[in-house]
């Protein structure tokens, strides 16, 4: 579904990504872990070109999205993204937050979009919040709405950039529950997270990144129980 | 001399109640023995009531409002364009807009008005209202562009990223997500700019456009009252700016409905 070939990203002289090759299968749940500054968020943001790679290629469902000829907006309609800071639109109601993009991109009529929004709001347990504004909601509720907003586009893959890192501890669970349900439904997911429990439970494959490269990858069992790389062992000792 | 002239007119056939009052003071006025309140009435009578002079102020206010409205419209549109240019990634656009803002902010508005009136349109017969709109609009645009630019910069980068990640084009993201939020933060400063603009149209008196200040000045040239005509003009400015402040305050509260209530 997503193929990444020799991906490099520099910020000035700083090399953040140093040659990444990955292939993500449809339906696969890939969890990316690693210390701060390892490049894991940058890697995720390259996948929908929120960061422009310095060199390398990324293919999504057969289309090279790194080619300047590609209509990146059309590609992004099929890739949902959830941010650490939620990034809900504060001037719009929850309903408008969810339906803005499907309607503006002419994927749905207003009625269809609102119907879909209510379905999804029901699924995350927030149907009564449709007409409130983001700032009236808790962090956990906001992040669940942000997930709904991304899902409303009916994406083929969901990218999660540390979705629980900005939450109060007691709100992490409700967001992870939504993500687990999504995983059970067969969504292709790429998740950058510090939630090792989630990585172990939901991940099909875990990538350990450090210094802009994938140092080690494998099933959660392999990575968490028998890590081979010294850096991986060191990192896991500190976080577990 | 002046009083005698006016007494003559007041004695004409259609004397109003105000004229009657004035006639009642005739002898004291000629003798120069009016008391305090009579003096105040004399000022108001001469500068506002006599010969429907109040119409002059309202005509002047009409011109001020007309020029201000269209100049604000022009200024906001050009200002938005300049702000977009300065925030674009096209170097020549950035430079051009930067130079424009620099020149307008760095020179007196009176000078700009004079250059546009005598330099640019000196040899054309163009309505001074249009010249006023162009001059004030060009000036205001520079300030508006800075206000809007800082408003746009104050919107969190995550908002743009969220919009783009949902497949919205950069134009739609700007128009539907960033701009409404930028406008909300810019509104107090924009309100300030509109009030400044209304007041600065008084500079157009310099090119003989009979707006509110010039209207007051015209009355002064008739009555030689040093104070009253300007005070009347001033009160009318206060009314206009006061109403505008109220209206924009209302709009601001409406735009803030997304905040905690």
Give the pLDDT band of residue B257 (cuts 50, 70, 90). Answer: low
Residues B105-161: pLDDT tens digits?
A: 999 999 999 999 988 887 777 888 999 999 999 999 999 999 999 999 999 999 999
Please report where in the chains the tokens 């009625």 appear, as a residue.
A111
Q: CA-nearest residue of chain A to B180?
A: A91
* % chain B with pLDDT above 90: 54
Alpha helix stretches (DSSP H) within B88-173: 91-106, 109-114, 128-154, 157-165, 170-172
Residues A101-124: pLDDT tens digits?
A: 999 999 999 999 999 999 999 999
Nearest by CB to residue B258, choosing from A83, A135, A149, is: A135
Identify whether the C-beta of residue B230 lies closer than 8 Å to the C-beta of residue B220.
Answer: yes
Q: What is the DSSP string of A6-40?
A: EEEEEETTEEEEEEEEEEE-TT-EEEEE--TTSSH
Confidence (pLDDT) at B259: 61
Confidence (pLDDT) at A83: 96
Please tell me whether the overall predicted TM-score, pTM, comes out greater than 0.95 for this model.
no
H helix and E strand count, chain A = 9, 10
Confidence (pLDDT) at A240: 78
Q: Give residue B92's Cα distance to chain centre.
A: 33
DSSP state of A130: T
Identify whether the C-beta of residue A208 lies closer than 8 Å to the C-beta of residue A216.
Answer: yes
Nearest by CB to residue B165, choosing from A50, A91, A92, is: A50
The residue among B31 and A189 whose pLDDT is bigger is: A189
Identify whether the C-beta of residue B148 lies closer than 8 Å to the C-beta of residue B157.
Answer: no
ipTM of predicted complex: 0.91
- Those residues with Cβ within 8 angstroms of residue B195's Cβ, 6 or more apart along the chain or in another chain: B241, B244, B245
Chain B residues with CB under 8 Å of A165 CB are none
Give the pLDDT band of residue B167 (cuts 50, 70, 90). Answer: very high
Query: Would the pLDDT of B7 be above 80?
Result: no
The region of weakest confidence among A39-43, A204-208, B29-33 is B29-33
- B185-190: which pairs have CB atoms within 8 A and are 24 or more residues apart? B185/B151, B185/B154, B185/B155, B186/B147, B186/B148, B186/B150, B186/B151, B187/B248, B187/B251, B187/B252, B187/B255, B188/B252, B189/B147, B189/B151, B190/B76, B190/B144, B190/B147, B190/B148, B190/B248
Confidence (pLDDT) at A210: 92
Give me the domains of chain B, ranges plus CATH numbers: 11-52 (no CATH), 63-209 (1.10.3720.10)
For testing contact with chain A, the best of B156, B159, B258, B261 (most A CBs within 10 A): B258
* % chain B with pLDDT above 70: 93
Q: Give residue B109's Cα distance to chain centre.
A: 13
Phi, psi values for residue A81, rounded to 5°: -135, 140
Nearest by CB to residue B181, choosing from A81, A90, A149, is: A90
Chain A touched by B91 (CB under 8 Å): no
Confidence (pLDDT) at B222: 84
Distance (Å) of CA A118 to CA A20, A90, B182: 39, 19, 29
Give the pLDDT band of residue B55 (cuts 50, 70, 90). Answer: confident
Confidence (pLDDT) at B258: 55
Chain B residues with CB under 8 Å of A101 CB are 163, 166-168
Helices B54-87 and B212-223: angle between axes, nearest 10 degrees = 150
Q: Using CA atoms, how far apart are residues A98 and A119, in angstroms rounded to an integer?
A: 12
Give the pLDDT band of residue B6 (cuts 50, 70, 90). Answer: low
Residues B67-86: pLDDT tens digits?
A: 999 999 999 999 999 999 99
Residues A146-155: pLDDT tens digits?
A: 999 999 999 9
CB atoms inside a 10 Å sphere around CB A224: 18
Mean pLDDT of chain B: 87
Identify whether the C-beta of residue A217 lies closer than 8 Å to the C-beta of residue A16.
Answer: no
Give the mean pLDDT of B37-47: 85
Task: Compute the nearest-CA separation of A169 from chain B (Å).
Answer: 23
Query: Would the pLDDT of B9 be above 70?
Result: no
Q: Give residue B155's Cα distance to chain centre.
A: 30
Chain A touched by B166 (CB under 8 Å): yes
Residues A12-67: pLDDT tens digits?
A: 889 999 999 999 999 999 999 999 889 999 999 999 999 999 999 999 998 999 99
Chain A residues with CB under 8 Å of B169 CB are 73
Q: Using CA atoms, how far apart are residues A100 and A96, in angstroms rounded to an integer?
A: 5
Q: How many CB pairs under 8 A join A and B?
A: 75
Chain B residues with CB under 8 Å of A149 CB are 166
Mean pLDDT of chain A: 93
Residues B206-254: pLDDT tens digits?
A: 988 888 999 889 888 888 888 888 998 999 999 999 999 999 888 888 8
Task: Compute the nearest-CA separation of A230 from chain B (Å).
Answer: 35
The residue among B257 and B189 whose pLDDT is bigger is: B189
């Amino acid at each position: 579904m997503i193929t990444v070939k020799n991906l490099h990203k520099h910020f000035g002289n700083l090399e953040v990504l140093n040659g990444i090759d990955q292939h993500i299968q449809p339906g696969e749940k890939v969890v990316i872990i690693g210390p701060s500054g390892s490049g894991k968020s940058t890697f995720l943001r390259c996948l929908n070109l929120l960061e422009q790679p310095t060199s390398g290629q990324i293919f999504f469902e057969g289309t090279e999205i790194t080619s300047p000829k590609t209509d990146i907006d059309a590609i992004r309609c099929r890739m949902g993204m959830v941010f650490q800071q939620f990034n809900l639109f504060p001037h719009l109601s929850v309903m408008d937050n969810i339906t803005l993009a499907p309607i503006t991109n002419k994927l749905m009529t207003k009625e269809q979009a609102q119907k879909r929004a209510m379905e999804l709001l029901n699924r995350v347990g927030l149907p009564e919040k449709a007409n409130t504004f983001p700032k009236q909601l808790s962090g956990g509720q906001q992040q669940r709405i942000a997930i709904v907003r991304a899902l409303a586009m009916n994406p083929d893959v969901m990218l999660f950039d540390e979705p629980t890192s900005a939450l109060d501890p007691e709100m992490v669970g409700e967001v992870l529950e939504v993500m687990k349900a999504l995983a059970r439904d067969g969504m292709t997911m790429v998740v950058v997270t510090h939630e090792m429990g989630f990585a172990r439970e939901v991940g099909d494959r875990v990538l350990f990144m450090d210094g802009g490269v994938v140092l080690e990858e494998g099933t959660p069992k392999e990575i968490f129980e028998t890590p081979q790389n010294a850096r991986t062992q060191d990192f896991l000792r500190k976080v577990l | 001399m002046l009083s005698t002239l006016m007494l003559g007119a007041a004695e004409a056939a259609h004397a109003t109640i105000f004229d009657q009052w004035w006639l009642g003071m005739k002898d004291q006025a000629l003798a120069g023995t009016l008391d305090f309140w009579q003096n105040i009435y004399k000022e108001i009578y001469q500068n506002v009531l006599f010969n429907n002079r109040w119409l002059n102020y309202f005509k002047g206010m009409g011109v001020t409002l007309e020029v201000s409205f269209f100049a604000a419209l022009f200024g906001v549109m050009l200002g938005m364009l300049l702000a977009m240019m300065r925030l674009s990634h096209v170097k020549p656009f950035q430079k051009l807009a930067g130079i424009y803002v620099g020149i307008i902010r760095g020179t007196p508005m009176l000078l700009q008005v004079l250059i546009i009136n005598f330099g640019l349109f000196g040899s054309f017969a163009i309505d001074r209202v249009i010249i006023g709109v162009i001059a004030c609009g060009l000036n205001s645009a520079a300030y508006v562009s800075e206000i809007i630019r800082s408003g746009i910069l104050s919107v969190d980068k995550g908002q743009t990223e969220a919009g783009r990640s949902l497949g919205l084009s950069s134009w739609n993201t700007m128009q539907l997500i960033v701009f409404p939020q930028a406008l909300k933060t810019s509104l107090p400063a924009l309100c300030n700019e509109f009030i400044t603009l209304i007041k600065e149209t008084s500079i157009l008196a310099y090119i003989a456009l009979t707006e509110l200040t010039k209207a007051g000045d015209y009355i002064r040239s008739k009555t030689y009252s040093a104070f009253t005509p300007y005070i009347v003009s001033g009160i009318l400015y206060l009314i206009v700016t006061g109403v505008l402040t109220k209206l924009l305050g209302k709009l601001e509260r409406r735009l803030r409905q997304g905040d905690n209530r």
